[in-house]
Amino acid sequence: MSYATIEELRALDGLEDSGLFADDVLGDAIDFAVETVEVYCGRKWDSTTDPTPETIRWCVRRIARQYCLDLVSRIPDRALQLQSEFGSIQLAQAGGPWRPTSIPEVNARLNAYRARLPFIFM
């Protein structure tokens, strides 16, 4: 079982427009999401002996969806401040060793599957 498919992403809210989100963009989003999950968790799934948990598949789909929506959004994913003709806005930002994405519910689920601590004890 794979992490996610293009058809699964198309079924998500906001990604059904194939004119706005081509299949190659969705493929890039899946690649980005898989790399984010594998690097943060420190392990790989997707083998016959170690199948991908449904929670990880959900996380990959959510990260890929966020990646696609950020491509057309006017607000950067982790912006600290946004200035426009209407004024300046301070934005909250995800970050740090326990927050690999800007989606809190994804971060919480990825932390449960993390194979290593994000820091080193000396």
Tokens of 50: 């170690």
Per-residue pLDDT tens for 12-23?
A: 988 888 888 999
Q: How does residue 115 score in pLDDT terms, banded at 50, 70 and 90?
A: confident
Rounded to 10 deg, the angle between the 54-72 and 104-112 helix axes is 150
How would you label 11-21 residue by residue, b for 16+ Cβ within 10 Å and e otherwise?
ebeebeeeeeb
Tell me which DSSP letter residue 52 carries. Answer: P
Whole-number average pLDDT of the chain:
83
pTM of the model: 0.80
Per-residue pLDDT tens for 71-93?
A: 887 766 666 677 778 888 776 65
* CA pair distance 115, 81, nearest whole angstrom: 34
